[in-house]
């Protein structure tokens, strides 16, 4: 029985708060009140291991003192100043310099926004702006992947390929100029029973480029590892081949590191696993440990040099907010000082070994996917047919996880992938504790 205070809070929430990604007028029945490290604490004092880093965004763990102190210091100096009209501030300059030392290749120029969706919107606009300034305004189409997730804002909703019907039909049709192609999701290959799903995906992408006409395509955008779809890692040769296609057909490559960036996969940016350097990169979430809304688009020299000296008629009120920039600067210092990417790689390898040895043999686990602390389990009712667990099984399993003190999500392309994405600072001992808790719950799932 929950306390009167919790009951009252939940009642007010149900009447007043409209939650995103949830049924209107309802809530989960839990009020989170405090957080520390890898833990959340509700109003009843119960602790939960944050096995999904919230929306895979609290990479450094909750309530980092260095970030809180940086926010307080900045607020005591300046609460807000716009970055419109060429106005700047020391915090946004400092964070730009630090980002430039971390981003791969010559991604040394930054446009700031408040979140990942806005960053994707900005990248798409700047890709089209780039071609317009080169006298090729007819290059406006954007190619992305089915099952991808790039945000819920205007343009980013069009680029997103995850849950097309559920996410987009209620809000109207997709705008013209956006093309989706099949991802190399080998476990459930959209090309059927082919010997190499990755190669089939590359071949299809090239065929689509040729059919649409390279002269009409501005950019290709993809996540290095598909996040919201369920940590879907592509075959090793896919990314280098896609990057080569973009060069071959003169198409800008936008790498979406909103979810996979900042140590999450065992490197500072996931694209580094394949040596890929995009023309643009979108970043959010871990860039500020989600202490405040903050995001960025990185531009390489090629794109920047074309845009330079042209008016950019685009931006958001809170773009380059000085306090958020101060928080991000502190977060970047922690990544470097503590070598957080190395920890994510080490602990992630330990998690991977346990998942493959102890979880994949279980009756309702199809396979494990991802790398670093960016992993997932595919939950199925039948290993042979790969039929996903049904909604009833998923709802009960999710409730059992909460009851056991585990906060994570079971979503993905078909709604059946359990996220295992704790903060990148998690220790092996903490990871083992979480896996020991969830193992009997996953084992308890039985084929119908």
Mean pLDDT per 10-residue segment, the chain (448 residues): 94 95 93 98 98 98 98 98 97 98 98 97 98 98 95 84 59 83 96 96 98 98 97 97 98 98 98 97 98 98 98 96 98 98 98 98 97 98 95 94 97 95 98 98 91
Class of 65-337 in CATH: alpha beta
pLDDT confidence of residue 166: 45
Angstrom distance (rounded) from CA 50 to CA 55: 10
State how far the Cα of 240 lies from the Cα of 275, in Å rounded to an integer: 8
Q: What is the pLDDT of residue 161?
A: 83
- What is the pLDDT at residue 167? 47
**CATH topology for the 31-63+339-443 domain:** 3.90.1150
Q: Which of 310, 134, 144, 119 is nearest to 219 (CA)?
A: 144
- In 3-state terms the chain splits into helix, strand, coil percentages (rounded to 5) of 40, 20, 40
pLDDT for the residue numbered 169? 56
Q: Long-range contact list for 23-28, CB < 8 A, 24+ apart?
A: 28/402
The pLDDT score that the predictor gives to residue 162 is 78
The Cα–Cα gap between 131 and 140 comes to 8
Q: Where are the domains of the chain?
A: 31-63+339-443, 65-337
Cα separation of 124 and 129, whole Å? 9
Is the separation of the CB atoms in 219 and 124 below 8 Å?
Answer: yes
């Amino acid at each position: 029985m929950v306390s009167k205070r919790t009951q009252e809070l939940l009642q007010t929430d149900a009447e007043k708060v409209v939650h995103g990604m949830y049924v209107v007028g309802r809530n989960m029945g839990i009020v989170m009140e405090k957080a520390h490290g890898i833990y959340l604490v509700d109003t009843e004092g119960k602790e939960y291991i944050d096995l999904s880093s919230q929306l895979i965004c609290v990479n450094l763990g909750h309530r980092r003192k260095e970030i809180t102190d940086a926010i307080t210091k900045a607020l005591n100096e300046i609460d807000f100043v716009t970055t419109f009209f060429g106005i700047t501030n020391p915090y946004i300059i400092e964070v730009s310099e630090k980002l430039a030392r971390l981003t791969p290749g010559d991604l040394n120029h930054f446009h700031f926004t408040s979140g990942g969706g806005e960053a994707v919107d900005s990248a798409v606009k700047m890709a089209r702006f780039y071609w317009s300034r080169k006298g090729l305004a007819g290059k406006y189409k954007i190619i992305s992947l089915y099952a991808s997730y790039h945000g819920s804002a205007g343009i980013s909703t069009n680029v997103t390929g995850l849950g097309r019907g559920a996410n987009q039909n209620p809000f109207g049709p997709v705008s013209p100029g956006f093309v989706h192609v099949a991802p190399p999701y080998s476990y459930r290959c959209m090309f059927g029973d082919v010997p190499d799903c990755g190669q089939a995906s590359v071949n299809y992408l090239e065929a689509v480029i040729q059919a649409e006409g390279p002269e009409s395509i501005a950019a290709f955008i993809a996540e290095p590892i598909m996040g919201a779809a369920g940590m879907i890692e592509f075959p090793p040769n896919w990314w280098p081949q896609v990057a080569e296609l973009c060069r071959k057909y003169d198409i800008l490559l936008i790498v979406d590191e909103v979810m996979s960036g900042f140590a999450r996969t065992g490197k500072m940016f996931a694209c580094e696993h394949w040596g890929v350097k995009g023309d643009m990169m979108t970043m959010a979430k871990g860039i500020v440990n989600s202490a405040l809304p903050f995001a960025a688009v990185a531009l390489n020299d090629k794109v920047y040099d074309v845009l330079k000296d042209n008016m950019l008629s685009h931006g958001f009120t809170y773009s380059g907010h000085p306090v958020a920039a101060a928080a991000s600067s502190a977060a970047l210092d922690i990544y470097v000082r503590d070598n957080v990417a190395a920890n994510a790689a080490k602990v992630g390898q330990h998690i991977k070994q346990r998942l493959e040895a102890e979880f994949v043999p279980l009756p309702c686990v199809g396979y494990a996917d991802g790398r670093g602390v960016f992993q997932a389990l595919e939950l199925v009712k039948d290993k042979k047919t790969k039929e996903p667990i049904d909604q009833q099984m998923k709802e009960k399993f999710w409730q059992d996880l909460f009851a056991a003190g585990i906060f994570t999500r079971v979503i993905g392309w078909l709604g059946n992938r359990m996220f295992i994405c704790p903060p990148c600072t998690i220790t092996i001992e903490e990871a083992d504790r979480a896996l020991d808790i969830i193992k009997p719950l996953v084992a308890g799932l039985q084929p119908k």
